[in-house]
Amino acid sequence: MSPHNSETQYTHGYTNPAFAGISSRTAASHAYFLLPHLKSGDTLLDIGCGPGTITLGLAEAVAPGRASGVDIGEEFIELARDGAESAGVQNVNFATGDALKLDFDDESFDAVFAFALLEHLPEPFDAMKEWKRVLKPGGVVAVGSGAVSRHAYAPDSPWGNVGFYLAVWEQNGGHPEIGLTQPKLLEDAGFSEIEVGGFITSLDALAQVAWAERMREPSFITQAVEGGFATEEEIEDLATEIEAWAKLENSWYLLPWFYGLGKKPAE
Ligand SMILES: C[S@@+](CC[C@H](N)C(=O)[O-])C[C@H]1O[C@@H](n2cnc3c(N)ncnc32)[C@H](O)[C@@H]1O
């Protein structure tokens, strides 16, 4: 587990399998709703940037303006820096940081982006206020999150039995349904001109197997067992069933994402 400087604990973990599903995300696939709001010369902050694959595309959109990515996981920041170097992207920097206590001055950015982060923060409203603080008046915030109850899969699937995973996530302060309440959060935090929308991605067999692997990690098992949410045997059985189901020829898993954009009112 990464050293943390906040009370948050990232349920999905930092090992290879856990991020296998996120390292293929791009700005075009997961931040397309923000791209029309960006222009050359803007400053942009990607909070909870993970391995930084989305950030690189956002950096391209604002060049020669600068993009910054922050994440509480040092492992991801190292990957993000390696990715930027391999891709030869010069106008981006990555640093460890906490979404709830950003190390940036007030009104530093034209745009703030956070994808699949709000669901991991114990205080999403406080986070929104913090993100508003670092935005310039008139600047844009764009967030995207899921809602596990809206996931769809067929045929009958062991994925319906992951209640213990969600219980651990909530115990860590997370909000697996937050995609549904993002617009209200934006409004309550004082953003205006709110836009909402969504899109669907597919969770392929490789990513599903990665989730099964995540469930088998000792740190996760300890949390689930100590929380009284599942026994080690139940976790192993479900992980095995998920692996088998993911490899069925006719199985599919669709993941809806909900996004929201808002502007910081110009003073
Ligand atoms: C599901 S990943 C999404 C990564 C990236 N935004 C993407 O979509 O590819 C969630 C990320 O949020 C980060 N995270 C969790 N809590 C955080 C916090 N308090 N401050 C900053 N990052 C945090 C995790 O380390 C992880 O990289």
Query: Looking at the domain assignment, is residue 225 inside a domain?
Result: no
* Ligand 1 atom with minimal separation from the 53 CA: 9
pLDDT digits (tens, 9 = 90+) for 79-117: 999 999 999 999 999 999 999 999 999 999 999 999 999
**From CA 174, how far away is CA 98, in angstroms rounded?**
15
pLDDT greater than 80 at residue 15: no
Asked if the structure places residue 164 within a domain, the reply is no
Instruction: Convert the pLDDT of each residue in 174-218 to its tens digit.
Output: 999 999 999 999 999 999 999 999 999 999 998 999 999 999 999
Structural domains of the chain, count:
1
Q: Per the domain annotation, does 80 fall within a domain? A: yes
Determine, yes or no, domain membership for 170: no
For 2-30, the DSSP string reads ---SSS---TT-SSHHHHHTTTT--HHHH
Q: What is the pLDDT of residues 254-263, one digit of tens each?
A: 999 999 999 9
Whether residue 6 has pLDDT greater than 60: no
What residues contact 222, with CB distance under 8 A and at least 6 apart? none
Compute, in angstroms, the gap from residue 48 CA to the centroid of ligand 1.
3
Please say whether the beta carbons of 19 and 76 come within 8 A: yes
The pLDDT-based confidence of 4 (bands split at 50, 70, 90) is very low
Residue 60 lies in a domain: yes
For the segment 121-132, what is each residue's pLDDT rounded down to a tens digit?
999 999 999 999
- Using the mean position of ligand 1's atoms as its centre, give its distance from the Cα of residue 252 in Å: 26
The answer as to whether 57 is a domain residue is yes
CA distances, 177 to each of 3, 86, 158, 182, 246 (Å): 26, 36, 20, 10, 23
Q: Evaluate whether residue 125 is within a structural domain.
A: yes
Q: In this predicted structure, what is the pLDDT of residue 14?
A: 79
Atom 14 (ligand 1): residue with closest C-alpha?
Answer: 48
Per-residue model confidence as pLDDT tens digits over 27-73: 999 999 999 999 999 999 999 999 999 999 999 999 999 999 999 99
Three-state DSSP string of 74-113: HHHHHHHHHHHHHHCCCCEEEEECECCECCCCCCCEEEEE
Residue 169 lies in a domain: no
* Best CA proximity match to 2, nearest among 69, 50, 73: 73
Q: Which two tokens stand for residue 195?
A: 């836009």
Give the structural domain span for 129: 16-149+175-201+255-263
Please determine, for residue 7, whether its predicted confidence score (pLDDT) is greater than 50.
no
The rounded Å distance from CA 102 to ligand 1 centre is 14
Tell me the CATH number at 126: 3.40.50.150
> Hey, which residues does 135 pair with through a beta bridge?
109
